[in-house]
Structure 1
Amino acid sequence: MLRHLDPWLEGATRNRGLAVACAALAAAAVMGVSEAAFRGADQALNQAAARHAARDDSLRLRELLTNAETAQRGFLLTGRADYLAPVQQAERDLPEVLKRLRGQYESSEWEALVADATRRANEKLSELLLVVQLYREGNEPAWQGLVESDIGREKMQAVRDAVAQLDRHELAQIAREREAVTRSLTYGRLGVHGLTLLSLFGLAVFLHRNEALHRSRREHAQELALERDRLDREVARRTAELTELARHLQSVREDERAHLARELHDELGALLTAAKLDVARIRRMTKAVPDIGERLGHMSELLDQGIALKRRIIEDLRPSALSNLGLVPALEILTQEFSQRSGLQLSLELADVATDENGKLALYRLVQEALTNVLRHAKAKHVRVSLAEADGWLQLHIRDDGQGFKPDAVGAGHHGLLGMRYRIESLGGTLQLLSAPGRGTLVLARLPAARAEAG
């Protein structure tokens, strides 16, 4: 399954990278076309602005001279000085206008025409000022002679002709610049439209491939879900088989223990009892023999110890109190004997609850295993055992005040409580082990009350 996913993951990564690259390329292309169109239009507009400025200056030149000439004639006719304001304005503004014109047409084919118009405009202005001066001085023949001559008219006409040529030239150039702006905008519009259509096509292709990838991913997800469900069923089946096997092994072990206990009780018990009776009979028959009584007494004590050992082994293998008296008396006997052997102080809080045989045996074995671990590892002084029913559960608590440990740090090879956990869980219950260094240990077992009350 993972091998099947690898090509899909590679394809998804490759397509994602291709989509990002195409998007970046499309964005760069649109920006490039837009920037080129902007630069072309901006350049054309700047040139058109310069053309308009040159045209305005040429028209301003003609306007200044025309107004000055008209004002001079009004002054000559009326003698009123207020008519000379346009002449004074021309004297003031004309040098700056001519300077701008020369700068605009410098190093061009119109430079000579502008230079000639500049010279004639200055001469015309000088001629106008001279006539005004002569009029004010009262030299009527002189100013009349200058006015009646054609020199001023020729200069003015030359300026008008130059201005007309420059105006026609600038209008033609402005028209070309306008066409350039329109052409740049058209190219930009066509480029943007084309790239937009191309981007839409690329987007459609990407969406189609993306949908195919999503469909493939859904199919893979379905395959994974089916495989996961199959594995879950397999795990559940194997777990059930292992649980059943563990339950069977526990039953077989308990049956073997019961069989061994019966054999020990029936065979070994009979032999030891018969041997003790024979020793007692021999002891009565040999009272007169020196030292024989002491030896027979020692042998009788050994037989008593053997019988006690046999009884303890039988109780460990198959506690008779559990079958004959019930769970609570059996636990009381177990804890009493443990206290006598270990010297530990035990506290009991045992409620009389109804349990089936499997539940009795599981709880009894759990207490037996927990007390054995306390004796071996806990270094405790006090152990508390409680059994009660609460919230539909039978709860067994075994708490000690020993040195405690870290449950996660327990290594392999400790199978006692692990086996008890499987036994409790096979009965539908739970087993928890709570401990920490220096804080003792708590073993908490819970069995469902429904199962416990089944017997």
Structure 2
Amino acid sequence: MNLFTVARRSPLVVPLACVATVAVIFLSESSYQRATASLAELAMMTKIRMTTRLVLMGLLDAETNQRSYLLTENKAYLAPYARGLAASQDGMRELDLSYERDPAYKALLAETRQHFDAKLALLSQGIRLTDAGQREQARELVQSGADKEEMDAFRDHVSALLKLETARTAEEQAALASTLLINRIGLAALCAACLLALFLYVRKSLILEQQLQDSSRSLQDDRDQLQDEAGISKLMLTELTQHLLSAREDERGRLARNLHDELGALLTSAKLDAARIKSRLNQAPVPAPGVTEALERLAHLVSTLNASIALGRTIIEDLRPSTLSNLGLLPTLEILVRDFAEAQGVQVHCDLHPVALASGTEIVVYRVLQEAITNISKYAQASQLWVEMKQAQGWVTVSVRDDGLGFDADATPRSAYGLLGMRVRVEAEGGRLTVCSQQGQGTLIQLLLPAQDSPA
């Protein structure tokens, strides 16, 4: 089932599917963008918080090492002091860059920077006094509490910065959670809509499938009924054809008998009367005037009667070969083939064996062979003819093959009533007729008929 079939059966399915697809893509992309922005902001906030803590830790480290140096004047504390001081200064510069465009942090950061610079100045001053040998003044500076006040103020401002960052982090986390929730709700709704659409489509497809099955069953029933009727009609036509053929052969036999019994008797009687008259005229002692002419007329009459008797015999043989009833099928076919060979000058190869066929089937074989020979004499232009007849396994096979021009058996026109008549005759007897031919390769006509002692 393709897309056009679906669209034709359900006009709303494709538009709804397109809308749902676009909605899913839009929702997914927008959620992705918002989530990406929130994650980037959270990463930045995390970095700022870490930087803020590093500033505080660096400053505390610098203060601790400065106190140790003031108490011991051991220059080993100056290196960690310098590192803590550098780390806190680098962190303050990063904070300045991070908050330079945020007005909510600008004032607080400026105050934090002010206390940070003041604290650094006090630490540096203590180091300078100690280096100058003014240890008492350095202790007094530490004991004055000014650096503690600046450190406490700086620590309070750092705590305020961290609180603001924590609040902002919570807001971004809430926004991210809201985005994910909206995405989940949207996807769930779209999935539910898709499942509903799929259910409706499957339901409609099942209904259509059931309708198609009902239609198919109805069509199959109609087809079966038509096939039964066609089979009955074919059987009736076959029986009718067999009856007509049998009636025609019976009529031919009756007509042949009538011609033989009545017309033959009349012609023979007339020939005998003419012979008596001729004998009487020949016995007259003195020929009367006109006797010679009468004898000539009688001779012509006898010749005409002989020709009429011969024509009558030919017509009778064509209507119903007497040899078929008197001698059987095998001699009749031999006579038919021999007469054809003598008339057409064709070399014939016969391989005929006795077979057991019903009387009605024998006349069918004779008529089919007669029609095949007639077609060969008219169209084939053959020089050789092969005729075979044999019986095996309850079936009789008769074949007629020539080396003539041949024809395209697949393109035989519907007007070829000779072959059609052969096939109808054979099928009416429960047999099968096969015609094989190609241009320039001759023709083979084969009959397969049930033997008399075999069921049809």
Aligned to 2:99: 105
1:74/1:260 CA distance change after superposition, 3 Å: same
2:197 to 171, 195, 202: 202
Aligned to 2:256: 261
CA contact (8 A) 2:394 2:453 kept: no
Aligned to 2:109: 114
CA contact (8 A) 1:331 1:364 kept: yes
Question: Does residue 252 of structure 2 align to residue 250 of structure 1?
Answer: no
Question: Does residue 76 of structure 2 align to residue 82 of structure 1?
Answer: yes
Question: Does residue 75 of structure 2 align to residue 73 of structure 1?
Answer: no
1:183/1:417 CA distance change after superposition, 3 Å: same
Aligned to 2:358: 356
Query: Which is worse superposed, 391-400 or 113-122?
Result: 113-122
CA contact (8 A) 1:64 1:86 kept: no
Counterpart amino acid of residue 89 in structure 1: R
Aligned to 1:419: 421
Aligned to 2:390: 388
Aligned to 1:4: none
How far 1:193 moved relative to its partner? 2.8
Query: Which is worse superposed, 111-120 or 417-426?
Result: 111-120
Greater RCO, 1 or 2 (C-alpha within 8 Å, sep 6+): 1
CA deviations on 1:222-246 (whole Å, 9 max, x unpaired) are 2112111111112112112211221
How far 1:362 moved relative to its partner? 1.0
2:213 & 2:440 partners in 1: Cα distance? 53
Give the secondary-structure state (helix, strand or coil) at the position aligned to 2:43. helix
Give the secondary-structure state (helix, strand or coil) at the position aligned to 1:110. helix
Please tell me the root mean square deviation across aligned C-alpha atoms, in Å. Answer: 3.0
CA contact (8 A) 1:355 1:454 kept: no
1:134 & 1:269 partners in 2: Cα distance? 172
2:194 & 2:342 partners in 1: Cα distance? 90
Aligned to 2:375: 373
**Structure 1: 5+ residue runs without aligned partners?**
1-9
CA contact (8 A) 1:346 1:382 kept: yes
How far 1:304 moved relative to its partner? 3.6
1:145/1:423 CA distance change after superposition, 3 Å: same
Query: Which is worse superposed, 291-300 or 194-203?
Result: 291-300
Aligned to 1:322: 324
Aligned to 1:163: 158
Counterpart amino acid of residue 366 in structure 1: V
Q: How many residues align?
A: 445
Give the secondary-structure state (helix, strand or coil) at the position aligned to 2:68. helix
CA deviations on 1:34-87 (whole Å, 9 max, x unpaired) are 444443333322222221111111111111111111111112222233323432
Aligned to 1:439: 441
1:158/1:333 CA distance change after superposition, 3 Å: same
1:196/1:290 CA distance change after superposition, 3 Å: same
Aligned to 1:3: none
Q: Write the mapping of 1:25-424 to structure 2, written as runs, cut at 5 A.
A: 25-108=19-102, 109-118=104-113, 120-122=115-117, 124-125=119-120, 127-140=122-135, 143-144=138-139, 147-148=142-143, 152-278=147-273, 280-281=275-276, 284=279, 300-424=302-426
CA deviations on 1:173-230 (whole Å, 9 max, x unpaired) are 1111121122222222222333333333333333332332222222212211211111
1:391/1:100 CA distance change after superposition, 3 Å: farther
1:156/1:235 CA distance change after superposition, 3 Å: same
1:282 & 1:102 partners in 2: Cα distance? 162
How far 1:98 moved relative to its partner? 2.6
CA deviations on 1:83-104 (whole Å, 9 max, x unpaired) are 2343222344344423322222
2:200 & 2:36 partners in 1: Cα distance? 37
Query: Which is worse superposed, 261-270 or 344-353?
Result: 261-270
1:446/1:87 CA distance change after superposition, 3 Å: same
2:15 & 2:208 partners in 1: Cα distance? 18
2:413 & 2:99 partners in 1: Cα distance? 99
1:438 & 1:278 partners in 2: Cα distance? 57
CA deviations on 1:372-422 (whole Å, 9 max, x unpaired) are 111111121111111112233211111111122111212132111211111
Give the secondary-structure state (helix, strand or coil) at the position aligned to 1:207. helix
How far 1:157 moved relative to its partner? 3.6
1:290 & 1:86 partners in 2: Cα distance? 176
Counterpart amino acid of residue 424 in structure 1: V
2:315 & 2:93 partners in 1: Cα distance? 130
How far 1:271 moved relative to its partner? 4.0
1:391 & 1:112 partners in 2: Cα distance? 119
Counterpart amino acid of residue 378 in structure 1: A
Q: TM-score under structure 1 normalisation?
A: 0.87
CA contact (8 A) 2:246 2:360 kept: no
1:298/1:98 CA distance change after superposition, 3 Å: farther
CA contact (8 A) 1:36 1:188 kept: no
1:291/1:72 CA distance change after superposition, 3 Å: farther
Identity, in percent, stands at 38
2:217 & 2:144 partners in 1: Cα distance? 108
Counterpart amino acid of residue 358 in structure 1: G
Q: TM-score under structure 2 normalisation?
A: 0.87
1:380/1:245 CA distance change after superposition, 3 Å: same
1:75/1:410 CA distance change after superposition, 3 Å: same
CA contact (8 A) 1:359 1:452 kept: no
Query: Which is worse superposed, 74-83 or 430-439?
Result: 74-83
1:96 & 1:392 partners in 2: Cα distance? 115
